[in-house]
């Protein structure tokens, strides 16, 4: 079956540090890949996405590249801010006739200190 594995947190960083959150997946075919972010006390927001191999998704300074050869979709940001403190979820979407299904990784909590 489909699965997503991401690095466990919490990840604690200082402001302006470089952030990487590793994400690897197992799936048949060609899933779409997503990063969602959940800020404290809020619901999930779509951060970025990629739909095919070598696509790079980017938003708010975050980037992730769909690497089919390594089945990975690592999230990176060059200089984090305190406001980036949140839980980040990697997810894949498989198309199904009965309804497309999102499979989530376990989430990585990121804490950015001033």
Interacting residues with another protein (CB under 8 A): 32, 34, 36, 42-46, 49, 51, 89, 93, 95, 98-102, 104-107
- Determine which helix (DSSP H) or strand (DSSP E) holds 25, and give its type and residue range: strand 23-26
CB of 106 to another protein, least distance (A): 5
Q: In this structure, what are the phi and psi dihedrals at residue 82, rounded to the nearest 5 degrees? A: -55, -35
Beta carbon nearer to another protein, 34 or 62: 34
Beta carbon nearer to another protein, 14 or 51: 51
Within 10 angstroms of residue 24's Cβ, the number of other Cβ atoms is 17
CB of 112 to another protein, least distance (A): 20
CB of 77 to another protein, least distance (A): 21
Cα of 40 vs its chain's centroid, Å:
17
CB of 60 to another protein, least distance (A): 16
Alpha-carbon distances, residue 38 vs 21, 30, 85, 86, 109 (angstroms):
15, 26, 9, 6, 9
Decide: 47 and 90 in contact? Cβ < 8 Å.
Answer: no
Beta carbon nearer to another protein, 68 or 101: 101
Beta carbon nearer to another protein, 57 or 84: 57
């Amino acid at each position: 079956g489909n699965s997503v594995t991401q690095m466990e947190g919490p990840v604690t960083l200082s402001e302006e540090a470089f952030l990487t959150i590793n994400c690897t997946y197992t799936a048949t075919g060609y899933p779409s890949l997503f990063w969602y972010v959940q800020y404290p006390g809020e619901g999930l927001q779509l951060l970025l996405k990629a739909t095919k191999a070598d696509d790079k998704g980017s938003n708010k300074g975050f980037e992730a590249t769909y690497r089919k050869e390594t089945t990975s979709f690592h999230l990176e940001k060059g200089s984090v801010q305190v406001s980036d403190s949140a839980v980040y979820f990697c997810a894949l979407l498989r198309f199904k006739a009965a309804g497309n299904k999102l499979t989530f990784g376990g989430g990585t909590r990121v804490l950015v200190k001033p």
